[in-house]
């Protein structure tokens, strides 16, 4: 049973709300806050360091082995730095545990994460290390003179990927791997239905073929596959679906400052289309039906949209599979960018793990952490890890390396290391990096992301249950989702402190009263202390 | 900006003090869930005994029998009265439960539930559940559900389904508390040195202690993958330890819930080496 995202696992809905409480009240338990990190002049080699690395793998044994190998090699270069690995299989659980550990000052040193999550961590003072000074440090910076391995220079990190880690005026992370989404297509069935894949996949094409695939015989077997089950189009990540559709339509999602624009007429228009095809049975989602890969490989799906980092699960000869082999059918797999509204101006999401460093009272320990992070960007780690899935390395140094180029050139030589679907997925991103985008990062941006997916999930579930999807439904849906994700509350909407849009007015009377009370208590305590001191003398 | 800062600091101090102040004996005014449930159990056991004499559940008006539930279309609304057999997880005010009545079992997924109510849902508790029937990778479940606690109690005996392994009829027992007897532990995979191992952390060995445990057992030449689901039975439980101590070739009896994922995938709750 594959459980990359354990179905019963936590979503991030309330985590962000809980995070505010934890970060707000951690002072009660003794956390005094950290001083801003300053780069030490040199790493104290007379000391031993032990750092913790919380990593995410895609439930992939090879990835685990690569992390372990990387740690082993790093420890050989730095025998006085020990790295403890803790493995996770989803970002949400890492986020959850980081939030929990912030309150007890037990955050990891290094953590694989998403920028949306870092935005929440940043509500704690000096919790995450801004990296600019470390980047440029002559001795220990990227490609620095005292670094004991061949690390990339700042210029060798793909600028677009690096910029994704910049928010609030600082670089708070480094990209580790990058992926996008791909449409994995049963080309055999598309052609059997009388269609030819266009050069650029469009939404209209996908919807049309998907509806055509629903034709059944008298015994309710689908004509295209001869089976009782056929869901022609399945989307794994419906938040990405809505986000990318809106971007392609140049419609609102959010501003850079955190103003929420998701609930607009274009969103409604998109949801009506999704409802139409969800209602007919032409479209479903991972949360409603299960993994797109399993349906695709069983000949029960034609268009499966999932991350390029899921490419090893896709296709008749996929190296990873958790379904019985007798269910897998033979077909030709095409790997294409996600459908577009404007083929001349393709747009697709950039995603994938980044890595951040948590601040510690001991700045030497932070420096040791930084060196390990740099090691994760070395060619050895970058090429090895990217080859486990349809990831691409985040440095030009690794992308252009002889080893990586040879890997790409051997596409299809076998069904493991050189599995064609996986390498085609990686190539897809390499060729479209200029067409990728990310959504604005602010405190609350992850809630907005979840909300955008929930709009799709609710709409599809509703039509499947026979509910009417009309204007009244949309109004209610928008209201429910706004309320569920607390997007109508200034704090949760992610409106940053001090933004021009904030107009707080006068201090509330309650606060005035509470402040006065506190001042009074402190005054009385001071009087009592002075009186006691006087008596002792 | 300063006003906001002052407001936040004030609230933090006041609420923080309140929180710390309550931490010592917090919950003393709260009802004792365990006592409450114990009393409830005592009451309901009498009724249960009476019902057992009658030999069947009495369903309220508008409540489906298991047969009607099993026949209901996916995505249709269903209402059942059932009994909690085990709790898998509670998160963000949502509970996931293994439930069963005398005729069949119902997996309740992500049902809105307060933490207080979750504490009341001890094994045996009778609940009325209204939600939608769904199918996820072959597992039938009730989602988007509401529930109420009713009087009554029932804990299912494990039903021996060993002889049904590999047969189509097995799915008729989906989600029930079942037992498997006399099965043989097979290799689940290989370690880094290439040696056969009796279990894996996560489905392919990519996990660590605390993750789901996967192990293979065979009967009559057919091998099946069973799992210790870490939300249901974490690494502090006896079954988690027992599976970690299995040896290839051991003969085992097992109990658990007949979960489905792309085929039968029991969530094992006890293992006994014979």
pLDDT tens digits, one per residue of B91-113: 889 999 999 999 999 999 999 99
Choose the closest CB to B3 out of A25, A63, A507. Answer: A507
- In the predicted model, what is the mean pLDDT of chain B? 85
B112 vs A: CB within 8 A = no
Cβ atoms of A468 and A212 closer than 8 Å:
no
pLDDT at A352 over 70: yes
Q: Where are the domains of chain B?
A: 34-52+60-153, 159-273
A507 contacts B214? CB cut-off 8 A: no
Range 123-142 of B in CB contact (< 8 A) with A: 132, 134-137
CATH number 2.40.50.140 is the correct assignment for the domain at B159-273: yes
A289 contacts B203? CB cut-off 8 A: no
User: Quick check: helix, strand or coil at residue A528?
Assistant: helix
A511 vs B: CB within 8 A = yes
Q: pLDDT value at position A4?
A: 37
Range 281-310 of A in CB contact (< 8 A) with B: 288-291, 294
What are the chain A neighbours of B134 within 8 Å (beta carbons)? 288
Cβ atoms of A109 and A357 closer than 8 Å:
yes
The CATH number for A181-349+438-484, chosen from 2.60.40.10, 3.40.190.10, 3.40.50.150, 3.20.20.450, is 3.40.190.10
Choose the closest CB to A1 out of B88, B110, B203. Answer: B203
CATH number 2.40.50.140 is the correct assignment for the domain at B34-52+60-153: yes
- Total-model pTM: 0.84
B23 vs A: CB within 8 A = no
pLDDT at A146 over 50: yes
Beta bridge partners of B174: none
> Residue B164 and residue A136: Cα distance in Å, rounded?
66
Cβ contacts below 8 Å, chain A against chain B, sum to 113
A515 contacts B10? CB cut-off 8 A: yes
Q: What is the pLDDT of residues B119-173, one digit of tens each?
A: 999 999 999 999 999 999 999 999 999 999 999 999 999 999 999 999 999 999 9
Which residue on chain A is closest to B260 by alpha carbon? A1
Element (H, E) at B14: helix B2-23
Q: Where are the domains of chain A?
A: 15-179+351-397, 181-349+438-484
A89 contacts B92? CB cut-off 8 A: no
Q: pLDDT value at position A93?
A: 86
Q: What is the pLDDT of residues A179-223, one digit of tens each?
A: 999 999 999 999 999 999 999 999 999 999 999 999 999 999 999
User: Quick check: helix, strand or coil at residue A401?
Assistant: coil
Q: Is B195 exposed, middle or buried (CB count within 10 Å of its CB: 0-12, 13-18, 19+)?
A: exposed
B1 vs A: CB within 8 A = yes
The CATH classification number of A15-179+351-397 equals: 3.40.190.10
Q: pLDDT value at position A420?
A: 98
Which residue on chain A is closest to B267 by alpha carbon? A1
ipTM of the complex: 0.81
Report angle CA A321, A323, A329 to the nearest 5 degrees. Answer: 90
> Residue B44 and residue A165: Cα distance in Å, rounded?
58
Mutation pick from B20, B113, B136, B199 vs chain A, by most beta carbons of A within 10 Å, is B136
CATH topology identical between B34-52+60-153 and B159-273: yes
CATH topology identical between A15-179+351-397 and A181-349+438-484: yes
A228 vs B: CB within 8 A = no
Supply φ then ψ for residue A391, to 5 degrees.
Answer: -85, 160
B166 vs A: CB within 8 A = no
């Amino acid at each position: 049973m594959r459980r990359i995202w354990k179905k019963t696992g936590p979503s991030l809905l309330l985590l962000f709300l809980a995070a505010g409480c934890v970060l707000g009240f951690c002072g009660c338990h003794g956390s005094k806050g950290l001083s801003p990190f300053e780069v030490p002049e040199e790493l104290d080699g007379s000391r031993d360091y032990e750092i913790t690395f919380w990593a995410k793998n895609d439930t992939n044994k090879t990835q685990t082995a690569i992390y372990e190998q990387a740690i082993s090699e790093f420890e050989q270069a730095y025998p006085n730095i020990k790295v403890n690995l803790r493995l996770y299989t989803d970002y949400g659980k890492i986020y959850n545990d980081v939030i929990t550990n912030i309150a007890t000052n037990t955050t990891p040193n290094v953590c694989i994460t998403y920028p949306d999550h870092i935005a929440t961590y940043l509500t704690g003072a000096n919790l995450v290390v801004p990296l600019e000074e470390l980047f440029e440090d002559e001795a220990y910076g990227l490609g620095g003179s005292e670094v004991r391995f061949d690390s990339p220079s700042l210029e060798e990190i793909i600028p677009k990927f690096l910029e994704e880690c910049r928010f609030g005026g600082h670089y708070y992370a480094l990209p580790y791997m990058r992926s996008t989404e791909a449409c994995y297509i049963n080309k055999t069935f598309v052609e059997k239905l009388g269609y030819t894949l266009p050069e650029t996949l469009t939404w209209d094409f996908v919807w049309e073929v998907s509806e055509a695939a629903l034709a059944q015989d008298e015994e309710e077997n689908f004509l295209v596959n001869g089976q009782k089950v056929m869901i022609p189009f399945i989307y794994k990540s419906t938040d990405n679906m809505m986000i990318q559709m809106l971007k392609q339509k140049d419609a609102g999602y959010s501003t850079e400052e955190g103003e929420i624009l998701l609930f607009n007429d274009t969103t409604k228009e998109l949801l009506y289309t999704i409802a139409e095809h969800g209602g007919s049975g032409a479209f479903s989602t991972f949360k409603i039906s299960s993994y797109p890969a399993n349906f695709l490989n069983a000949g029960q799906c034609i268009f499966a949209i999932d991350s390029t980092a899921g490419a090893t699960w896709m296709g008749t000869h996929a190296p990873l599979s958790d379904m019985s082999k007798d269910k897998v059918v033979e077909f030709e797999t095409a790997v294409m960018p996600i459908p577009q509204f404007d083929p001349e101006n393709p747009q697709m999401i950039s995603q994938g793990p980044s890595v951040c460093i948590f601040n510690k009272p001991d700045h030497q320990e932070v420096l040791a952490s930084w060196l390990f992070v740099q090691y994760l960007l070395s060619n050895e780690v970058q090429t090895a890890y990217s080859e486990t899935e349809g990831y691409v390395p985040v440095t030009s140094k690794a992308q252009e390396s002889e080893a990586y180029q040879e890997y790409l050139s051997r596409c299809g030589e076998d069904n493991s290391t050189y599995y064609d679907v996986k390498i085609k997925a990686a190539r897809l991103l390499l060729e479209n990096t200029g067409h990728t985008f990310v959504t604005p990062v602010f405190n609350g941006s992850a809630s907005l992301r979840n909300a955008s997916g929930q709009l799709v999930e609710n709409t599809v579930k509703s039509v499947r249950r026979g509910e009417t999807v009309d204007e009244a439904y949309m109004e209610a849906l928008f209201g429910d989702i706004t309320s569920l994700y607390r997007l109508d509350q200034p704090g949760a909407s992610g409106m940053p402190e001090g933004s021009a849009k904030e107009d707080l007015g006068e201090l509330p009377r309650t606060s005035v009263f509470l402040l006065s009370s506190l001042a009074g208590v402190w005054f009385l305590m001071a009087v009592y202390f002075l009186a006691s001191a006087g008596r002792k003398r | 900006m300063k006003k906001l800062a002052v407001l936040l600091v004030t609230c933090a101090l006041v609420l923080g003090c309140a929180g710390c102040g309550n931490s010592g004996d917090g919950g003393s005014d709260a009802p004792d869930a365990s006592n409450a449930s114990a009393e409830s159990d005592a009451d309901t056991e009498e009724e249960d005994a009476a019902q057992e004499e009658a030999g069947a559940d009495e369903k309220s008006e508008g409540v489906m029998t298991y047969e009607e539930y099993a026949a209901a279309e996916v995505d249709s609304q269903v209402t059942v009265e059932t009994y909690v057999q085990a709790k898998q997880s509670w998160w963000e005010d949502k509970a996931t439960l293994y439930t069963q009545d005398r005729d069949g079992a119902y997996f309740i997924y992500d049902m809105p539930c307060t933490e207080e109510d979750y504490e009341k849902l001890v094994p045996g508790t009778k609940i009325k559940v209204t939600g939608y029937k769904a199918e996820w990778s072959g597992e039938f479940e009730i989602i988007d559900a509401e529930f109420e606690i009713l009087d009554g109690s029932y804990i299912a005996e494990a039903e021996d389904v060993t002889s049904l392994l590999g047969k189509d009829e097995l799915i008729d027992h989906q989600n029930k508390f079942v037992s498997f007897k006399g099965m043989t532990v097979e290799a689940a995979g290989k370690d880094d040195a290439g040696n056969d191992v009796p279990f894996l952390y996560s489905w392919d060995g990519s996990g660590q202690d605390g993750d789901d445990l996967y192990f293979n057992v065979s009967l009559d030449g057919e091998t099946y993958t069973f799992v210790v689901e870490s939300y249901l039975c974490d690494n502090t439980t006896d079954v988690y330890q027992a599976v970690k101590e299995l040896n290839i070739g051991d003969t085992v009896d097992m109990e658990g819930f007949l979960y489905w994922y792309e085929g039968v995938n029991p969530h094992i709750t006890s293992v006994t080496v014979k």
